[in-house]
Amino acid sequence: IARASAAAGPLAGLRTALSLYGASAGLRPQYDTDAERRRTDALAACAAVPTLLTALHRLGQGLDPVEPRDDLPYAANYLYMLTGSEPEPDRARAIERYLISTVDHGFNASTFTARVITSTGADLAACLVGAVGALSGPLHGGAPSRALDTLDAIGTVDRIDPWIRERVLAGDRIMGFGHPVYRTEDPRSRMLRGIAEQFGGPLVDFAVQVEARVEAILAELKPGRELHTNVEFYAGVVMELCGLPREMFTPTFAAARVVGWSANILEQAADSKIIRPAARYVGPLPPQPVPPVA
């Protein structure tokens, strides 16, 4: 798993690690367990995920995993296990606020995936592995580092307009902007911008300038679409300022969202009905009439 994590990232390793965790913990199909057992299993998994993620990252870097500490809060402990050093309070608080803001967010792709798998009666690990798989997609949880890559690609203030216009006119998506639900500013983005501005510095100043110009250009080229920054744009900035490596941006998202997934899993497991969406065929008609039934 460590070798795979080094090559493909901790989130890829987490999929396998969670499967092994489920087997070693003897997780049974939730259909066959009671509510108390399911809750106990979910709490244990929520505690295991940040430990697994940080261990996978360190092993992938050729470093030994760092044991968690009982005396540190969740976010501070996460940064400690990641770096091996106790974090500065302002960094721990910034990551804590990010984690809280991303714990849950409606029936997003990964949460819905977890609920569908839960509805079959599968064990908790299977549900979480499915959620992690959905989160790994760049259109869901994979955007924070890509949004920061956009800032790197633009480079300087004078390049913002030509760089953005070229991408928008080519039909490319500007990572960190737009949301499938919000048609106003993502409130999580506003909160994270405030955290970034408390740190200050050239990166934050540049990000604020890019945000303003991108929103103006998108309003001009895509009138009526109301495309604003989403949570990923300033999440990348905040995590960069707090010293997280970019390959850990989406895994850090997972360390928060596992709590929301688990809450949804527990709720879904209480209802034994399977989720079975209906589909309507809209393809081409058959080339010749179907023979009537005799």
| pLDDT over 80 at 228, yes or no | no
Active site (catalytic) residues: 179, 232
Which of 189, 190, 173, 188 is closest to 225 using CA atoms? 173
Rounded distance between C-alpha atoms, residue 9 and residue 135, angstroms: 13
Are residues 34 and 158 in contact, defined by beta-carbon separation less than 8 angstroms?
no
Give the CA distances from residue 283 to residues 3, 16, 276, 277, 287, in Å, rounded to whole numbers and listed in that order. Answer: 44, 37, 21, 18, 12
- The per-residue pLDDT for 147 is 80
Kindly report, as residue ranges, where domains of CATH 1.10.580.10 are found in the chain. 2-137+248-269
Task: Assess whether pLDDT exceeds 80 at residue 141.
Answer: no
CATH superfamily of 143-240: Cytochrome P450-Terp, domain 2 (1.10.230.10)
Answer yes or no: is pLDDT of 285 > 90: no
Across the range 230-235, mean pLDDT stands at 82
State whether residue 286 is helix, strand or coil. Answer: coil
Residue 28: pLDDT over 90: yes
Structure-model confidence comparison of residues 41 and 223, the more confident one: 41
DSSP line for 100-165:
HHTS--SS-HHHHHHHHHHHTT--HHHHHHHHHHHHTSTTTTSHHHHHHHHHHHH-SGGGHHHHHH
What is the rounded average pLDDT of the residues 231-251? 90
* % of the chain with per-residue pLDDT over 90: 61
Q: What is the pLDDT of residue 142?
A: 63
Query: Rounded to two decimals, what is the model's pTM?
Result: 0.84
Q: Architecture of domain 2-137+248-269 in CATH?
A: Orthogonal Bundle (1.10)
DSSP assignment of 36-66 equals HHHHHHHHHHHHHHHHHHHHHHHHHTT----
Comparing 24-38, 42-56, 180-194, which segment has the lowest mean pLDDT?
180-194
Q: Cα–Cα distances in Å, from 239 out to 51, 107, 232, 246, 285?
A: 18, 25, 10, 8, 52
Q: Look at the block and give the residue holding tokens 């030509």.
A: 162
Domain with CATH 1.10.230.10 in the chain: 143-240
Distance, in Å, from the CA atom of 13 to the CA atom of 8, rounded to the nearest integer, reads 8
